[in-house]
Amino acid sequence: MSLDSDRLRMILKKAEQRAASVRSKQRDTIHDLVAKVTVQPYEISVELSVTALCTALAVEHPAGAPSWIRFTSPVRLTRTGRAIRLVQRDGRPVSQGRPDPGLVELLRKGRNWWQQLQTGTIDIATIARDEQVNESWVSRLVRLNFLAPAIVEAILVGTQPASVNATSLRTANLPIDWDEQTAMFGM
């Protein structure tokens, strides 16, 4: 297929618009483009309709081209707390880029309590009483202030491995060394 530069710019613009529609989860766009999704124990395949893609980009369906394009990614299902997540081979959840509000809240509480403790005007027992939790809970969350920056950043941007969840953060015997922490969580 030969295209002049103006036509190519128009196609790229349309492709960017479709990509934005997919990223914003506009169902009708996804429904039009995706012909089939197959989830197997260790991989997921998505087949895109070439005809729908050509129509969306306002180009002719090339003669002899396949009717679909298949994308396959190795994944596995992993239980993290109560949820089951689709996880990539490197241990990162498939739905990267969405911070887990529960994890972010744990970090926020731990940071807030640590700042209160640093003033020297309050102790763990008082925080626990004010928050109506036990002292052990406060201590476990305050420890999160000493997480490796790479782990904190991954949590805040939603790219942490499935092994980093609320339970693992609360119950882990965190090493002091940040490299050991990241290795412990498979990062």
Instruction: Write the pLDDT tens digit of every residue in 25-34.
Output: 888 888 888 9
Q: What is the largest CA-CA distance in the chain?
A: 76
Same domain, 58 and 124: no
Residue 90 lies in a domain: no
pLDDT tens track for 93-126: 655 567 888 889 999 999 999 999 999 889 999 9
3 and 15 Cβ atoms separated by less than 8 Å: no
Which range of residues forms the domain containing residue 118?
Answer: 101-184
95 and 161 Cβ atoms separated by less than 8 Å: no
- Other Cβ atoms closer than 10 A to 138: 25
pLDDT tens track for 59-89: 887 788 888 899 888 877 776 666 666 676 6
Alpha-carbon distance of 186 to 120, in angstroms, equals: 36
Quote the number of domains for the chain. 2
**Span between the terminal Cα atoms of the chain, in Å:** 44
